[in-house]
Amino acid sequence: MELWYTENQNDDLRFSCRVTRTLHVEKTPFQHLAVLETPCFGRVLVLDGIVQTTVWDEFMYHEMIAHVPLNTHPRPEKVLIIGGGDGGTAREVVRHPKVKNAVMVEIDERVIAVSRQYLPELSRGLDDPKLELRIEDGIEYVTKHPGEYDVILIDSPDPIGPAKGLFGRQFYEGVAAALKEDGLFVAQTESPLFNPDLIAEIYRNLREIFPIVRLYLTCVPTYPGGMWSFTLASKKYDPLEVKPEDIPALPYRYYNAEIHRAAFALPQFLQEILRRA
């Protein structure tokens, strides 16, 4: 008998993969958490029935949420990560040579603990001396640290449950206040194919707060539709003005100088969504 995991990506679409072992299952104070072993994707982290990351394709997401903003800011010395309990974003942040210290704020400490146990490829950066871990609400945290950060990364799950507030205008205003006068931030902003209204709303809100707002794309095969978006909002620096020679020569697997610029080249349907925002 075969065991299969199925994610209901929306009312009309399901994603399934065969499972060889269920490594961990629990109900935390905030969400249902599971780690599965699969032949296609290796170990898979699932929160509330939704795939968060896999060891097979995580680099396509984590390199892009981290290195695009870190290389846009000329001095990304102090970085805040909201969410990202699996550790993948923190891993990328701490290996950037210009980052001096980073704070990661995760509301659910069980995600961190389980990721340490089952996802060492992602979580190894959590023990880096550059990184400070804080177990608290990221929405509340930003309100207590005005003008403190060069770069803020919002590595949130889908906008349900405890993560819903991380997609609202009030939170983005708090993020802007927590940034230094030349700071910038990036948030993962879901699927252009299945969440166009959400992307338009976020883009519209951020344009009213920041002078520079740009959407960029990556490919994450285990996310709905495969195409995934991030939105960068900046007080001063434009990601399209980054010089290739200024990008550190790290052992990337997805990101590089060409991808940095190409990621902002949007298909026509997405340009139209933003134009109507």
pLDDT digit string, tens, across residues 190-218 = 999 999 999 999 999 999 999 999 999 99
**Whether 93 and 24 share a structural domain:** no
Task: Label residue 161 by pLDDT band (50, 70, 90).
Answer: low
* pLDDT greater than 80 at residue 117: yes
Question: Is residue 174 a known part of a binding site?
Answer: no
Question: Is residue 31 a known part of a binding site?
Answer: yes
- The half-sphere exposure of 40 on its side-chain side, counting CA atoms within 13 A, is 9
Which CATH number characterizes residue 146's domain? 3.40.50.150
pLDDT digits (tens, 9 = 90+) for 119-136: 999 999 999 999 999 999
Distance separating alpha carbons of residues 92 and 161, to the nearest angstrom:
26
Q: Which of 216, 274, 224, 265 is nearest to 63 (CA)?
A: 216
**Whether 134 and 91 share a structural domain:** yes
**Whether 113 and 27 share a structural domain:** no
The yes-or-no answer on residue 155 being catalytic is yes
* pLDDT greater than 90 at residue 230: yes
Say what the pLDDT of residue 162 is.
61
Task: Label residue 277 by pLDDT band (50, 70, 90).
Answer: confident
Catalytic residue among 57, 108, 150, 155: 155
Cα angle for residues 12, 18, 20 (degrees, 5° grid): 150
* pLDDT greater than 90 at residue 9: no
Distance separating alpha carbons of residues 67 and 200, to the nearest angstrom:
24
Question: What range does the domain containing 198 cover?
Answer: 58-276
Question: Is residue 146 a known part of a binding site?
Answer: no
**Whether 16 and 96 share a structural domain:** no
Question: Is residue 12 a known part of a binding site?
Answer: no
Distance separating alpha carbons of residues 107 and 85, to the nearest angstrom:
8
**Whether 211 and 159 share a structural domain:** yes
Cα angle for residues 275, 191, 27 (degrees, 5° grid): 140
Question: Is residue 155 a known part of a binding site?
Answer: yes
Q: Which of 195, 180, 102 is nearest to 148 (CA)?
A: 180
pLDDT digits (tens, 9 = 90+) for 91-115: 999 999 999 999 999 999 999 999 9
Alpha helix positions (H), 119-241: 120-123, 138-143, 169-178, 196-207
Instruction: Give me the percent of the chain exceeding a pLDDT of 90.
Output: 91
* pLDDT greater than 90 at residue 168: no
